[in-house]
Amino acid sequence: MSASSHINTLMDFFGNPNIIEIPGPIAIVITIHLNHPDGDILVFMTEICTRIEFELGRYKETSNFLILPLYSALPAESHSRIIEKISAPASCDKIARKIIVSTNLAETSLTIDGVAYVVDTGFCKQKIFNPELGSEVLASVPISKSAAIQRNIKRNVAEFDFIHTPPPYSLMLALQELTLIKAKDTQGIITETEKKLSTFPLEPQLSAILLKSCSLNCQKEINKIIAMLCTDVMCFVTPFDSKKEAEACRSTYMSPDGDHLTLLNVFDDFIANAMDQ
């Protein structure tokens, strides 16, 4: 049942509750375009973009926008139009704004410079199995929390001076990792955690683990494990002529709780034997 077409029925069923109207993505895009500073808009929605173009076309002052679809089957030349800068029409004084209507393709596979606003419907197209049809169908489903964070990061690409600029995809993965370890918030703002992590000569995820170990009272163990992870020397070797002996020796250190505790066992035994290599 469509909630929009059966409002009275739903109100009667739930005892006439208060109605809260939430503007849809098209209304939000129009509001941003008419009332906010310049900057491209990235819209995540599962519908086609012709309705956005129709709604914006009702306003004469909005002729300085360009709506571009973005999906996996889009030709390469259309992808280039999305990435490159556009200029304003001769009849417009303002800088032109791109409104990019994307599927979940733009979450990870493409970085778009100039995006200042992200409008997210919270849905994506995904193949699911329909038992009645006995086949997969393409349906709109809610996205995960991590996907929502990734979509929001799309407008937070940091601008630094680089000798050699890293690939945009690598930069986006780095920003995502910093967000997941709470070094940056979802708005891309540096947190107190990041300030502390920057004092360690380690990879961010290892620094975060070391910092967390202080509150769990396991600093010594985590220090040992990180030391083992940071070395380039393999702690286990398997000589060709004594494979069985090597495997038997390795099994004495193996932990059922994972490889990290196996490395801790090796470190502790190394220290216990007066560091005899």
| Number of folded domains that form the chain | 3
> 143 and 100 share a domain?
yes
> 136 and 171 share a domain?
no
Of 137, 167, 201, the domain-final residue: 201
Which pTM does this prediction carry?
Answer: 0.47
Q: What's the confidence (pLDDT) of residue 236?
A: 81
**pLDDT single digits (tens) 166-203:** 666 677 777 778 888 888 776 667 778 878 888 888 88
Is position 209 within any domain?
Answer: no
Interatomic CA distance for residues 216 and 114, integer angstroms: 42
> 29 and 42 share a domain?
yes
Interatomic CA distance for residues 206 and 226, integer angstroms: 7
**Domain enclosing residue 244, as ranges:** 218-277
Is position 210 within any domain?
Answer: no
Q: Which residues contact 95 (CB under 8 A, 6 or more apart)?
A: 38, 64, 88
CATH assignment of the domain containing 111: 3.40.50.300
> 111 and 25 share a domain?
yes
Q: What's the confidence (pLDDT) of residue 26?
A: 80
> 136 and 23 share a domain?
yes
> 266 and 191 share a domain?
no
Compute φ and ψ for 226, nearest 5 degrees. Answer: -65, -40
> 149 and 187 share a domain?
no
Q: What is the mean pLDDT of residues 227-245?
A: 81
Tell me which residue of 65, 53, 71 sits closest to 94, measured CA to CA: 65
